[in-house]
Structure 1
């Protein structure tokens, strides 16, 4: 009897250990810029900020370039950036920093990913995913798309309309994915930036599974305006169209799109405004992307979930509550045959669950906090989180 009890206990602990491994929530930002394109920070300093602020993975997504070539950056003469260089030099030393100074100022040779990755990556602690922001346009409209875990630089393919340009670039990502056998994830960036992408453009896409429901850049119009829809309404409209033609649903991510690392406030694109929490078994890019493609993640601007279960027709979640903060959990979705989303149920508290009925097309959860977001996208923003939609 004792032997059976010991064996039973061993099996129980083994199962518990596996379960704990499967619920490993990893925090990451998938849209980040440095001096390699239009950001204003050295990649090492940017990576150090994210690692020091408890992120587990980061994608440096520069405009139409991967940090694999030789690139020199002429520093602005402003005292802010001169001081930032002094801080960089002090932190990493003369042996690491290669620079030259002449009558025109200081130029610094930027470190490549093969140089900076070993400095920061740690097994099971921190990973850097190679990425690119495919930067294209049509008719003066900026059309940007990230390729996460890109293997080789993708040149913008252009097109004869907004939708065609976007589709051509999605196809380029998916073609590289097929050719290399590596999971490469395209995601549409900030549709309302420059009011470039309409909901009809988004509805027309094939092969796209992700877009930014929240982006921290001050010029992206996350909430729309009096005549143009915000990202949440667009998200639901996209999924009505996708599900009605039996296309996999669009998932929503939150990103910083950080550019500015020395000046802070609503007019700057700063770090720490939006991220994803991915329930991944490991930190390798393949597993993270496959987990996200399965919808096993949520987007956040500050709210953390203690647990999230999305199985078949049920969503069950619990907020990791902060003292003195109140939470409202809303289950938002669309009924079959309807062309508008609605709030199916509202729960004031930290725990809630919802069952999708046969009359419903899909449902997702949104958590609103009473805590004001520090250095927000827009003044007065509260910390929030969004789960991914589920459907019958």
Structure 2
């Protein structure tokens, strides 16, 4: 409708405006619905992926995060029991809050999963608390007995930090671990790695100790009256890796270390100050840095007074063997010294960038000031890298000195 001037009436304009608004509203509503549908379709894409691909994704995150993800979809709920890798690890603050949750979740998953699915990796970090620790130990022991398990690791932390622990606390934590071990021996028997902190143990019947890849600041053997043999393979400490207290029967010591620049050079006179009965000593240098300091025989003699057999293994090629002579002077009872010089390419890192990154030394040798020899002995020298069959040369002290150009 138009008025006399030819213009549309106001009522017609209002109706048209209302119509446009309704049209826009319908368009906006339709667009919103389309966006919601697209969003739902996008969210549903995850559950539509093949199980193998979903498991590959879920096994790359912590197991609890994977479980939280599976709760979002019915299609995903069955996947936690199909996981082959379990990582139940948290920061210290999270561990204290979720220690029971770790036990509950892990128990539910491992008890309902199919034994036909191999557990390739199992890593659990928990606080050493008697009730919860026992629950974790039992379900892991059950998994070890009923299922195939590849690598398994416990990382056990204590309720107190090291700087807050008293001597009584350390003994208590050690006792709690012993109790857990006694209650769940199968769980510990199947472990391939065990990480501990803040514990002290008493075991007066222990005869032999072997520590492999020990990430300890220091292992203190305070009172082990029957200990006879000790092996420590690759420690990770900038200090002396061992402290010996009362170990009157310790006669065989084997130390293996691939040394880098930051490693401390050990002094046997200090390390073995309380070990007067060492008769067999093996030092393996992994074809890298020499981490033993040649010392004055007068200082070292009390520690090596009963030493009869010495093996110096995997000395780097090109190493000046003169430094080894300090052992001859300090060990009057020595019967045999076996030295293996070998750049073992299978165990060495040869890439220059990696050697620089991990602080390997370019020059691994040490220097020694010759002293007058006080004994003679027989020495085996071998160099496996010179041929497929290692060559052993038996010679007396004068012959060795001649080969080393000392006389």
* TM-score interval for Structure 1 and Structure 2 normalised by the shorter chain: under 0.3
Structure 1 or 2: more strand by fraction: 1
Structure 1 or 2: more helix by fraction: 2
Structure index of larger Rg: 2
Greater relative CO, 1 or 2 (CA 8 Å, sep 6+): 1
Structure 2 length as normaliser, TM-score?
Answer: 0.25
Structure 1 length as normaliser, TM-score?
Answer: 0.25
